[in-house]
Structure 1
């Protein structure tokens, strides 16, 4: 049955759903939250929770990546961020936090662009990753497709355990400007094949592009455009796919690729727009294996953004597509993830909320929870 709707005489379009539009349904069986396991394993690496810290300067520093790793998640450092441009980025982060208290400000954007014009230094990439490795946690860093050719060997030589290629939209067939800047386009399949570490790549928002990314050998595919509350891709480019539909479509690509490849499982990772524990619950229910959290973790007391949140889209030198967003602070990182919570809006004890949702619907692990019943129940504007 087609779910296409006419926009006009010349164009039909699919109806798509955001996470706010769906909900999970309790079953006849319930369990105790203590019986629920949130363990997640990708490749050889096992984690206590299906959480990845987004590679954004407002979210992940070497210290917060280490802290997240010790709490059972995976922290990914932005290798094109302030920590690889400045020997001591703390004064820069303080300046960004002290900019005009406005989400939309051309002056703020211009200053961010100036700060990020400082060149990336390979020796700082090596030093930051070494700092994380010395702490005994899984080491992961992220580059955009445009920078991967230039710095990936530095990353691999530094001993990274897991590599993330993250952009607004990443294609298996064309991930640079086709040599317009003097470099050859990145052959993603050849690149992943030659690496000795698992690669997570994205974003993707549809079945076909995700299936092509899976065929490159990626260990995981990021669903969404990243950036979450700090991106304005929808307004600037007119591009948006609501997350519930995007996750479900790419979960279908995972299923079909599993059959096509004879059993190779590629992880689906929801990336962006996951502001509360309820959003995480629904992302996993739609078929995600794990979530990449940005603004949600930017609310932690240890977050480098000091209550503000922004992504690389916001500092693009030619076409910025984001802004610095005030997300506030709700408590220490451990409280944000594991509680105990003092908030009633799902912004802290995220894993406690997930455990309770899984227990209430009768599931004891994330993989089985993907089978939970769901309904479409769009919220009214005043409820959003």
Structure 2
């Protein structure tokens, strides 16, 4: 059976679907939302909600990582961001907030590149992670593959619980003629903490990442609210198909490894509660959220949202976008909500969708029936 279609006489392509293209079908039973569990566990760490905050400066500070941890999620601090480059990043955040209102603004991009040119200070990595640890929540920090070798010893010495290696795309077989690439399999084998790595956007790259020993794989490529990767590089991976492909890799890797389970974490294009629900339904164990949490009043971006792609020193491929604010972080996650557009009570929406379709926990919900039903105007 093939899903390829002819694009032209010389090229065929596989049809892929975004989360907007699919919908969940109710089953024969319903449940009380209070009877539904949305908890999940990775390695020894259990969380009340399958929500991981993206390591983005507009989303996570040490304070918001602590707040999210106390609300049942996992905050991941960007260890190459403003909080590890500046002793006091608040004036820098003030300046970024005042850079202008246009989405495409070369002058603002240039200034952000200058601000992020300040060096990462290892002592700030240590102090920021220590601040989170002192609050009694799970400590997680993120580095890009390019900076992992340089800073990972500092991160481990600071007592991180979960280590995240996150890039636009991460490969287990990176090839370079000019520098020694990170050997993910050896690196993960030598660590004593669970590692989440990604992004991966297909079956084969995800399977290779699972074989490195990763505890979790991030699924996504250029799908977030701030990225312009599709326009700049021509690369895009529709999330519904990507999550399903990586979930299939998880299943096959379990057979191959004799039962080792690698968690699938959807990362990108999950701005609304319905996107989160459908990501779990397609096979994700948890979701990594950027813009959805950047709308919280406590978010350091103050209603503005940007990723690391926005200040790349050679080829920026992301915008600083105004996502606004909808309320305190607790209300964004757990409600109560007075927004009808899926921007608050994100966990409550997931719980209610599971109850409405008759499923009691996340693993059950991954087996729900879905249909192709592209969103129409007014939906």
TM-score in same-fold range (> 0.5): yes
**Which residue matches 1:99?**
99
Gapped regions of structure 1 (runs ≥ 5): none
Secondary structure, aligned partner of 2:254:
helix
**Which residue matches 1:305?**
301
**Which residue matches 2:271?**
275
Q: 1:227 to 1:99 in 2, by over 3 A?
A: farther
Q: What is the Cα deviation at residue 227 of structure 1?
A: 6.5
> How far apart are the structure 2 equivalents of 1:93 and 1:226?
24
- Alpha-carbon contact 1:227-1:294 (below 8 Å) kept: no
Secondary structure, aligned partner of 1:229:
coil
After superposition, residues 1-384 of structure 1 pair within 5 angstroms as: 1-174=1-174, 178=176, 180=178, 183-225=179-221, 228-380=224-376, 382-383=377-378
Q: 1:185 to 1:221 in 2, by over 3 A?
A: same
Q: What is the Cα deviation at residue 179 of structure 1?
A: 6.2
> How far apart are the structure 2 equivalents of 1:242 and 1:349?
25
> How far apart are the structure 1 equivalents of 2:223 and 2:6?
31
The CA deviation string for residues 53-106 of structure 1, in whole angstroms up to 9 with x for no partner, is: 000000000000000000000000000000000000001011101111111100
The CA deviation string for residues 12-55 of structure 1, in whole angstroms up to 9 with x for no partner, is: 00110000000000011000100001111000000000000000
Gapped regions of structure 2 (runs ≥ 5): none
> How far apart are the structure 1 equivalents of 2:65 and 2:251?
31
Aligned-pair Cα RMSD in Å: 1.0
> How far apart are the structure 1 equivalents of 2:378 and 2:228?
22
Q: How many pairs are equivalent?
A: 379
Secondary structure, aligned partner of 1:228:
coil
> How far apart are the structure 1 equivalents of 2:373 and 2:237?
18
> How far apart are the structure 1 equivalents of 2:44 and 2:222?
25
- Alpha-carbon contact 2:223-2:237 (below 8 Å) kept: no
> How far apart are the structure 2 equivalents of 1:268 and 1:242?
16
Secondary structure, aligned partner of 1:13:
strand
> How far apart are the structure 1 equivalents of 2:26 and 2:359?
10
Q: What is the Cα deviation at residue 5 of structure 1?
A: 0.4
> How far apart are the structure 2 equivalents of 1:118 and 1:214?
34
> How far apart are the structure 2 equivalents of 1:323 and 1:55?
16
Q: 1:179 to 1:93 in 2, by over 3 A?
A: farther
> How far apart are the structure 2 equivalents of 1:302 and 1:256?
41
Q: What is the Cα deviation at residue 378 of structure 1?
A: 1.4
Secondary structure, aligned partner of 1:196:
coil
- Alpha-carbon contact 1:227-1:310 (below 8 Å) kept: no
Secondary structure, aligned partner of 1:118:
coil
